[in-house]
Structure 1
Amino acid sequence: MVKEETTPLLVHLDGRLYDVANFAKKHPGGEKVLRKVAGEDISVYMRGQKRTLGVLHEHSEAAFNMLKKYDVEQLQKGDPVLDSKRGVLRRVGLLGHDYWNWIHQPYDGTIRLFDSNLLESMTRTYWWTVPLVWVPLVILFSILSILSFTDSLTLKASLGAWAILFVVGVLTWTLCEYSLHRWVFHWKPDPNSSQQILLHFLLHGLHHKTPMDGDRLVFPPVPAALIVSVFYIVYSNLFPWPVFCAFGAGKLFGYVLYDMVHYYLHHGAPKPLTNMHFRKVYHHNHHFKNFDVGFGISTSLWDYVFQTVGLGPI
């Protein structure tokens, strides 16, 4: 008999996270109520301070006590993967049908991937490393583009050509960002394949399991350099040199912007009613409410195009 996979239904209460997926169908107000408030702080609903689906209901002390059973921190106690002091990559692949539920029950901590201290250190990257490594290249290729354009255009026209191609490069990155996030990072592995599970975990599962691990939010420069090198070869042979330099600089800048925005959405504190506050809540809801929508990080443009718009502040 194949084990049925479950997907967490997460709510917050007084600073703690609860997974009420196994309680949803038993909820006296109906499962739809819990689906409605998923990902939110439910204290105002349980204390009768705010309506949900038109109903104002102050919950009993028994209801609060019942909720304790679904405390994610308590559910994760004794987890052999999380409790391991050694690298976990071999164990993750053996989670099978439990994997999908496991990665979507966030863990407020960090997970050791490798036994080797050297390999483990290579999986951690400070956020400022990304602009430090890549922004000088953005500036260099922008200058090279403008100088190359001036061989046949005026300086003003060269700046205009660079600016247009730079923006096209940024927009191209945002489409790549969306495509990678939706169709690669959120590809669902075969639960019977330990290799597929491990690959997914390294691509994106780790981030959903430990969304607040600040040292594993941005992409390490060494593997990024390999990917950039491939695109360098492709684009430099596809486009004239000044076009490539401007377009490539824009696309690389788009990537830097993405990594910086993504880090800020997890660790920044934007002011309410600002665009960044909207983006933070939008991304929070992707993690804690519905991971099948809201794939845009630096922009929601492609979510609108492909009809996967998530939820921002209510």
Structure 2
Amino acid sequence: MPESWWIRAALPFPASLALPALGLCAVWLLWPQAAGVGGVAIAALAGLAAWTLLEYVLHRFMMHHVEPFRAWHLAHHRNPLAPIRVPVAFSLALVLVMLGLPLAVLGVLGMDGLAAPFSVGLLLGDVLQESVHQRLHAQEVSGHWLSHLREHHGGHHFRDESLAFGTLTDFWDRCFGTCPPSAERR
């Protein structure tokens, strides 16, 4: 059965940042009025850290094993220098989950005032990951962090696609045993 147009529609970078940016605008409407700065900062940083785990899990399992994501991602592997495109349906679903799940979970725990800052961390992680991923493929990089990430991500593309799933960090690759051997020695 052929895919519907709305499943195939994909936005190239930087237009692909539009849906996460709209998600950030939506969070503004949910922002807690009386939230303390410390709690907000911790919740946002926790959301950013959670994003790195979510990115790892999505890349390792969904992008390499679940259709149609696998086929889309395989096209990226075949031509890693082509402009990166993010399917609109995937981005929309991801943004809705990043808005709704924290509110549902933290609301049940009586911490709904931290849901919006947590969502901000998730959404900023998504924007950062897309921007860094584009940079790792499209340009020369400068600085130790980006150089390390480029080497790590390049190993995923050009040496062994069953390793090095993290884009923003290799932390989860180290935790789950998917870090390339050369990076493990560092």
User: Quick one: percent identity of the two aligned structures?
Assistant: 24
Which stretches of structure 1, 4 residues or more, deviate above 6 A after TM superposition?
A: none
Q: CA separation of 1:178/1:230 partners in 2, compared to 1, >3 Å: closer, same or farther?
A: closer
Aligned to 1:269: 140
CA deviation after TM superposition for structure 1 residue 147, in Å = 2.2
Between Structure 1 and Structure 2, whose CA radius of gyration is higher?
Answer: 1
Q: CA deviation at 1:275?
A: 1.6
- Please give the residue correspondences for 1:174-189 in structure 2 after superposition, counting only pairs within 5 Å: 174-187=52-65
Q: CA RMSD in A?
A: 3.0
- Gaps of at least 5 residues in structure 1 are 1-88, 91-113, 150-157, 190-195
Question: Cα distance 1:231–1:134, how it changes in 2: closer, same or farther (>3 A)?
Answer: closer
Query: For residues 280-299 of structure 1, what are the structure 2 equivalents within 5 Å?
Result: 280-299=150-169
TM-score of the superposition, structure 1-length normalised?
A: 0.50
1:18-97 to 2 correspondences below 5 Å: none
Q: In structure 2, how many angstroms separate the alpha carbons of the residues matched to 1:199 and 1:296? A: 17
* 8 A Cα contact 2:63 2:70, kept in partner: yes
1:27-46 deviations in Å (ceiling 9; x for gaps): xxxxxxxxxxxxxxxxxxxx
Aligned to 2:74: 205
Q: Distance in 1 between matches of 2:23 and 2:34?
A: 16
Shift of 1:212: 1.4
Partner of 1:258: 129
Say whether 1:242 aligns with 2:128. Answer: no
Distance 1:226 1:183, change over 3 A: closer
* Structure 2 residue matching 1:294: 3-state secondary structure: coil
Q: Is the 8 A contact 1:139 1:249 kept in 2?
A: no
Question: Offset at 1:285?
Answer: 1.6
1:305–1:160 CA distance, 2 compared to 1 (3 A) = same
Judged with a 3 Å threshold, the aligned counterparts in structure 2 of structure 1 residues 257 and 306 are, in CA distance, closer, same or farther, namely: same
Q: 1:227 aligns with which of 94, 98, 101?
A: 94
- Structure 1 residue 262: deviation in Å? 0.7
Give the number of aligned pairs.
178
Counterpart position of 2:179:
309
Instruction: Give 1:218 shift.
Output: 4.1
Matches of 1:139 and 1:166 in 2, distance apart? 15
| Counterpart amino acid of residue 160 in structure 2 | N
CA contact 2:20–2:95 (8 Å) conserved in 1? no
- Higher helix proportion (structure 1 or 2): 2
Instruction: Quote the Cα distance in structure 2 between the aligned partners of 1:274 and 1:143.
Output: 38
In the TM superposition, what is the alpha-carbon distance from 1:292 to its structure 2 partner? 1.4
Post-superposition Cα deviations, 1:154-185, rounded to whole Å, max 9, x if no partner, equal xxxx1111100001001111111111111222
- Normalised by the length of structure 2, the TM-score is 0.79
Structure of higher RCO (CA pairs closer than 8 Å, 6+ residues apart)? 2
Could you list the runs of 5+ residues in structure 2 that have no partner in the other structure?
A: none
Residue type of the alignment partner of 1:260: S
Pair 164,218 (structure 1): closer, same or farther in 2 beyond 3 Å = farther
User: Does the C-alpha gap of structure 1 residues 199 and 163 become closer, same or farther in structure 2, counting only changes over 3 Å?
Assistant: closer
- For residue 125 of structure 1, give the secondary structure of its aligned residue in structure 2: strand
